[in-house]
């Protein structure tokens, strides 16, 4: 028998007012050794439309670590908004996850809720049955989806962004100012660096010789410096460069250097500027914010 899990999600966007915080509501059915997890957020896309971005991740076992578990592959996971399928994906090594986005259902406005579900349609590895459903309830905030042309940002897309020995989480978001929080996590060889929310310095430039569209953006290169935790220890600095060479991202470039802030000679990761070996980097116009 499959399982059905319902959670309340947290909406992420440029808000006027606040999104409703979320809690786990309840679980029914018999727990299976396999199921798909789901996160979702309401955001503004580059065209100024409100969309729901989602990421579905395989999870084998209740409370267990699914890392490198070959039994959690599934040939089809359906994503639905209020019961209407808006996308599908498959769990395969090495990430066992996929992301996408679709428009907020017609007729929905600020304060309304949307049930975002992920359903295991096919059989899991090891001949385990599918049918498991996980649902989160996302509340739509008030959005200002206007485009601010003088600002830009970078996001990471596709599969995990990989450069040299480093793997950057797909949640990568870096803004061209020091106002908004950012998300940058780097993993390599069992080690991890997580940047604090705000950058120390940032510079964004647009080289006419680099065609980064689509979509159009006011930059193709971002150089940033921030601080954070290396293997859960504070006191480290990251310097990074991102270059968007357009779609499909096979020529995008990134450099990463992480070192102890008090002793810059103690470099724990040094990846020179080079072409990505996975994923892509995407420059965007930013959205209005305070």
Say yes or no: 112 and 157 in one domain: no
Q: What is the pLDDT of residue 6?
A: 47
216 and 130 assigned to the same domain: no
**CA 226 and chain centroid, separation:** 19
Specify whether 27 is located in the same domain as 114: yes
Q: Which domain holds residue 125?
A: 3-139
Instruction: Classify each residue of 201-236 as buried b or exposed e, where b means 16 or more C-beta atoms within 10 Å of its C-beta.
Output: ebebeeeeebebeeeebbbbbbebebebebeeeeeb
Residues 6+ apart with CB under 8 A from 289: 14, 179, 180
- In this structure, the chain runs to a length of 290
pLDDT score for 50: 83
Among the candidates 115, 139, 163, a domain finishes at: 139
* pLDDT at site 60: 56
Same domain, 123 and 197: no
**Domain total of the chain:** 2
**What does pTM read for this prediction?**
0.51
Write out residues in the chain with pLDDT < 50, as ranges. 1, 3-32, 62-63, 289-290
Are 280 and 236 in the same domain?
yes
Are 279 and 152 members of one domain?
Answer: yes
For 142, counting Cβ atoms within 10 Å of its Cβ (0-12 exposed, 13-18 middle, 19+ buried), the class is: middle
Which among 139, 157, 183 is the end of a domain? 139
**What span, in angstroms and rounded, lies between the C-alpha atoms of 13 and 142?**
9
Q: Based on the domain organization, do 87 and 166 belong to the same domain?
A: no
Please, which residues bridge with residue 236 across strands? 228, 260
Give the residue from 139, 165, 196 where a domain finishes.
139
Residues 88 and 207 in one domain: no
The alpha carbon of 262 is separated from its chain's Cα centroid by a whole number of angstroms, namely 31
pLDDT the model gives residue 14 = 29
User: Per residue in 174-229, pLDDT tens?
Assistant: 998 887 788 888 988 889 999 988 889 998 988 888 988 888 888 899 999 999 99
> Do residue 48 and residue 155 come from a single domain?
no
**Whole-angstrom distance, CA of residue 160 vs CA of residue 90:** 15
Please tell me whether residues 236 and 154 are part of one structural domain. Answer: yes
- Considering the domain architecture, whether residues 204 and 129 belong to the same structural domain is answered as no
- Degrees to nearest 5, angle at CA 88 with 248 and 184: 55
What is the distance between the alpha carbons of residues 255 and 245, in angstroms, rounded to a whole number? 14
Contact call for residues 207 and 187 (beta carbons, < 8 A): no
Q: Minimal CA–CA distance to 98: which of 81, 73, 121?
A: 73
What is the pairing mode between strands 3-8 and 133-139?
parallel
Cis peptide before 94 (omega within 30 of 0): yes
pLDDT of residue 206: 87
CA distance linking residue 4 with residue 58, whole number of Å = 15
Q: How many CA atoms lie within 13 A of 206 on its CB side?
A: 16
Both 156 and 279 in one domain: the answer is yes
């Amino acid at each position: 028998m499959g399982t059905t899990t319902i959670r309340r999600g947290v909406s992420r966007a440029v808000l006027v007012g606040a999104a409703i915080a979320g809690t786990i509501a309840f679980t029914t059915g018999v727990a299976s050794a396999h199921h798909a997890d789901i996160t979702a957020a309401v955001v503004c896309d580059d065209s100024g439309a409100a969309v729901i971005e989602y990421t579905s991740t395989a999870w084998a076992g209740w409370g267990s670590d699914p890392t490198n578990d070959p039994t959690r592959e599934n040939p089809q996971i359906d994503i639905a908004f209020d019961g209407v399928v808006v996308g599908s994906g498959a769990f395969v090594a090495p990430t066992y996850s996929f992301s996408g986005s679709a428009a907020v259902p017609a007729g929905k406005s600020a304060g309304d809720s949307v049930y975002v579900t992920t359903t295991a349609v096919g059989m899991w590895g090891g001949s385990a049955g599918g049918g498991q459903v996980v649902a989160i309830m996302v509340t739509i905030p008030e959005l200002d989806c206007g485009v601010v042309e003088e600002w830009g940002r970078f996001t990471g897309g596709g599969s995990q962004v990989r450069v040299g020995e480093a793997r950057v989480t797909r949640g990568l978001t870096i803004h061209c100012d020091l106002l908004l929080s950012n998300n940058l996590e780097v993993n390599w060889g069992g080690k991890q660096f997580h940047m604090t929310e705000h950058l120390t310095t940032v510079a964004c430039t647009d080289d006419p010789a680099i065609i980064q569209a689509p979509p159009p953006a006011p930059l193709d290169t971002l150089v940033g410096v921030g601080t954070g935790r290396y293997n859960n220890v504070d006191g480290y600095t990251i310097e990074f460069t991102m270059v968007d060479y357009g779609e499909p991202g096979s020529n995008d470039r990134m450099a990463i250097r992480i070192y102890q802030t008090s002793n810059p000679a103690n470099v724990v990761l040094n990846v020179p500027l080079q072409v990505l070996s996975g994923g892509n980097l995407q420059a965007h116009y930013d959205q209005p914010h305070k």
